[in-house]
Each structure stands twice: as C-alpha cells, then as structure tokens.
C-alpha cells in the first residue's frame, strides 16, 4: 500500500485522492490517502501532493502548523511530490510575491495569475514529455513558470513557457491534473520518480 499525503490546509483535495487511487491501481497497488492539516503526518507518507488553492493562504498555514519543514525533509529524502497550481507556487524558489513564503523546493520563478482575465480558466490538450498522447490540461488562474533552474527538466510548455517541470523528486504543474479522469500526471510524478530514483 502506497501512503499518499494530500496537503489539506486549504484547496482541492478529494479529486486528487481519486486520481492517486487510479494511478496506484494501474500499478496493482492500493493507496491510503492521508489528509495533512497538522504536523506529524508527512513523515508517514511515501508520496505527497500539494494541491491548488490560494498560495498565500497555503504557505502561511504550512509554516504556522510546522508542516513546511516536514515537506522539505520529505524532498531531501528523495521521496516524490506532485505540486499543482498553487502547490507549485508554494514549492517554487520565487513567487515574486512577498505574501507567499516559498519552500524553495522547485528551482523555478513563477508568475501568479499569469494568463490574464480573458484566459483565466481554460482547457487545452498539452504535449507532456513522457506521455504518448496529449494530456487534457485544465488551467484555473494558473501560474506560468518564467525562469527555470539548470537542473530543472521542462515537461510541457504553453506559448513557449513552461507549465510542467520536474526537479529531482518533484513534479510541478501549472494546471490541474486532478480535474479530469486521466491519472497519467499522478502516475508520472509518483511511480516514475520512484522507479527512476532506484
């Protein structure tokens, strides 16, 4: 059984739980989902999910509840993380916004709410490195990745800018892979990282 922690201080949680279970099932595994609202749960988790929501609120609560340093330790141990949308903003090294206390885990600079009003929310088929067919990517007031560190692998771009990256054990996406029935991004983040790091 895979123990998957979903950060649940704020933001969308239940859809991710479903996607993790589907990805695990494809590997013949069960997933036990733990919702993370307090310190002490992250150390029990094999993989972590940092969902979308509001990055200022999420980062504040992660620090206040002493969960932030547990997530950093999880990554230092080389264990997988999928960070989506606001989760990616919180995991980044620079959110260009003093109200977001980033965890400095993904070496990227992000631009919050970067798509402009007209394109606030949209869905697009996205070519993702490692996937055979385009992924139906749902963007909701999504961040763009404006700068990418040397060790960061860009997995997908939109308008020539990165919207999915891998940095060591973390996969970060600007979009919401939990909002379709397609578990391939969760699969890429959790199972392929696990296999690649062995």
x/- binding map, residues 147-186, to ligand GLN, per CB under 6 A? ----------------------------------------
Question: At 1, is the secondary structure helix, strand, or coil?
Answer: coil
Q: Using the 8-state DSSP alphabet, how is residue 39 labeled?
A: T
Q: Does 121 bind ligand GLN (CB under 6 A)?
A: no
45 annotated active-site: no
- First-last CA distance in the chain: 18
Tell me the residue nearest to ligand GLN as measured from the CB.
52
The residue among 20 and 90 lying less far from ligand GLN, judged by its C-beta, is 90
Give the CB-side neighbour count of residue 90, counting CA atoms within 13 A. 31
Q: Which stretch binds ligand GLN (CB under 6 A): 24-32, 69-77, 84-92, 151-159?
A: 84-92
Q: Which residues are annotated as a binding site?
A: 53-55, 112, 140-141
DSSP secondary structure letters along 64-119: HTT-HHHHHHHHHTT--EEEETHHHHHHEEE-S-TT------EEEEEETTTT-GGG
Active-site residue set: 85, 176, 178
Q: Which residues bind ligand GLN (CB under 6 A)?
A: 52-55, 85-86, 89, 112-113, 140-141
């Amino acid at each position: 059984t895979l123990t998957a922690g979903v950060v649940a201080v704020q933001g969308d949680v239940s859809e991710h739980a479903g996607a993790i279970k589907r990805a695990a099932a494809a590997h013949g595994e069960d997933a036990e989902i733990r919702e993370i609202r307090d310190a002490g749960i992250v150390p029990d988790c094999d993989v972590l999910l940092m969902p979308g929501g509001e990055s200022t609120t999420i980062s504040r609560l992660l620090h206040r509840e002493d969960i932030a340093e547990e997530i950093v330790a999880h990554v230092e141990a080389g264990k997988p993380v999928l960070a989506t949308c606001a989760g990616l903003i919180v995991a980044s090294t620079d959110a260009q916004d003093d109200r977001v206390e980033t965890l400095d885990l993904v070496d990227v600079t992000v631009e919050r709410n970067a798509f402009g009003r007209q394109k606030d929310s949209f869905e697009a088929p996205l070519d993702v490195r490692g996937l055979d067919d385009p992924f139906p990517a749902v963007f909701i007031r999504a961040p763009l990745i404006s700068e990418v560190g040397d060790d960061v692998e860009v997995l997908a771009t939109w308008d020539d800018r990165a919207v999915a990256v891998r940095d060591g054990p973390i996969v970060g996406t600007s979009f919401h892979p939990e909002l379709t029935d397609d578990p391939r991004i969760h699969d890429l983040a959790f199972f392929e990282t696990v296999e690649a790091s062995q």
